[in-house]
Structure 1
Amino acid sequence: MLPRDIRYTKLRWLLTFLGLLLYVVDIWTDVGLSIKYLLDGDYICSALTFSFVLVGLLVTQIFSHAWYEDDLEDALINPRGPASVLGMSRGRLVVVHLCGAGIFTRYYHLLKSGFKVVWLGTGSLNEEEKKEAHHRLFCQATDLSMLKLFEAFLESAPQLLVQIYVVQNHGEASVMQYLSMVFSCFNIAWALVDYRRCLRRSLPHIQEMPSGSPTVIYLLYKLCTISSHILSYSLLLILTPYCVIALVAILWLLGTLWSHLLRTNFCSTRIHEMVYRGVVGFILTFTFFNVKGKDTKIAMVAYYFLYTIISMTSPLLLALLRPEVQTATFFIVISGFIFVGTILGMVFLVLYYLRLHPRRKRREADEVDGSGNRAEATGRMSNFLQP
Structure 2
Amino acid sequence: MVETQECFPFHCFLKYLFTLVGLLLFLLDIALDILTVVSFYQDGSNVYMAVMIFLLLGSSVLLQVFSWLWYSDSLEKIESKVEKFTARHSLIKPLHFLQLRVYLRYAGVIETSTMDFLHCINNFRKGVWHSAREDVAVKLKHDLQMLRLFEAFSENTPQLTLILSRILQRGELELITGLKSLTSAAGIAFSVALYHRSMLIYLPEKCK
Give yes or no for TM over 0.5: yes
2:112–2:136 Cα contact (<8 Å) kept: no
CA 1:6–1:144 in 2, change beyond 3 Å: closer, same or farther?
farther
Q: Offset of 1:60 from its aligned partner?
A: 1.6
Distance 1:78 1:27 in 2: 27
Give the secondary structure class of the aligned counterpart of 1:3.
Answer: helix
Distance 1:85 1:111 in 2: 12
**Percent of aligned pairs with the same residue?**
24
Q: Decide which of 84, 87, 95 is 1:86's aligned counterpart.
A: 84
Distance 2:203 2:154 in 1: 29
Q: Decide which of 16, 26, 33 is 1:23's aligned counterpart.
A: 26
Aligned-partner residue type, residue 84 of structure 2: L
Match for residue 46 of structure 1? Answer: 49
1:19–1:190 Cα contact (<8 Å) kept: yes
Match for residue 68 of structure 1? Answer: 71
Distance 2:206 2:100 in 1: 30
CA 1:94–1:46 in 2, change beyond 3 Å: closer, same or farther?
same
CA 1:92–1:162 in 2, change beyond 3 Å: closer, same or farther?
same
Distance 1:78 1:175 in 2: 42
Give the secondary structure class of the aligned counterpart of 1:65.
Answer: helix
Match for residue 98 of structure 1? Answer: 97
Distance 1:178 1:115 in 2: 34
1:114–1:137 Cα contact (<8 Å) kept: yes
2:78–2:84 Cα contact (<8 Å) kept: no
Q: Pick 1 or 2: higher relative contact order, CA cutoff 8 A, min separation 6.
A: 2
Distance 2:206 2:153 in 1: 24
Match for residue 4 of structure 2? Answer: 3
Give the secondary structure class of the aligned counterpart of 1:118.
Answer: helix
Q: Number of residues paired by the alignment?
A: 197
Give the secondary structure class of the aligned counterpart of 2:165.
Answer: helix
Match for residue 110 of structure 1? Answer: 109
Q: Offset of 1:119 from its aligned partner?
A: 2.0
Q: Offset of 1:166 from its aligned partner?
A: 0.8
Deviations 1:59-91 (A, max 9, x none): 222111211111125xxx369xxxx95332272
Q: Offset of 1:115 from its aligned partner?
A: 1.3
The answer to which structure has the higher helix fraction is 2
CA 1:200–1:30 in 2, change beyond 3 Å: closer, same or farther?
same
Give 5+ residue unaligned stretches, structure 2: none
Distance 1:116 1:30 in 2: 32
Q: Offset of 1:165 from its aligned partner?
A: 0.8
CA 1:33–1:193 in 2, change beyond 3 Å: closer, same or farther?
same
Match for residue 171 of structure 1? Answer: 171
Instruction: Return the TM-score normalized by structure 2.
Output: 0.83
Distance 1:177 1:87 in 2: 39
Deviations 1:356-381 (A, max 9, x none): xxxxxxxxxxxxxxxxxxxxxxxxxx
Distance 1:209 1:38 in 2: 49
Q: Decide which of 11, 25, 37 is 1:34's aligned counterpart.
A: 37
1:37–1:45 Cα contact (<8 Å) kept: yes
Aligned-partner residue type, residue 44 of structure 2: G
CA 1:93–1:157 in 2, change beyond 3 Å: closer, same or farther?
same
RMSD: 2.8
Distance 2:95 2:65 in 1: 11
Match for residue 182 of structure 1? Answer: 182
Matches within 5 A, 1:159-308: 159-201=159-201, 203=202, 207-208=205-206, 210=208
Give 5+ residue unaligned stretches, structure 1: 211-387
1:6–1:135 Cα contact (<8 Å) kept: no
1:196–1:209 Cα contact (<8 Å) kept: no
Aligned-partner residue type, residue 169 of structure 1: Q
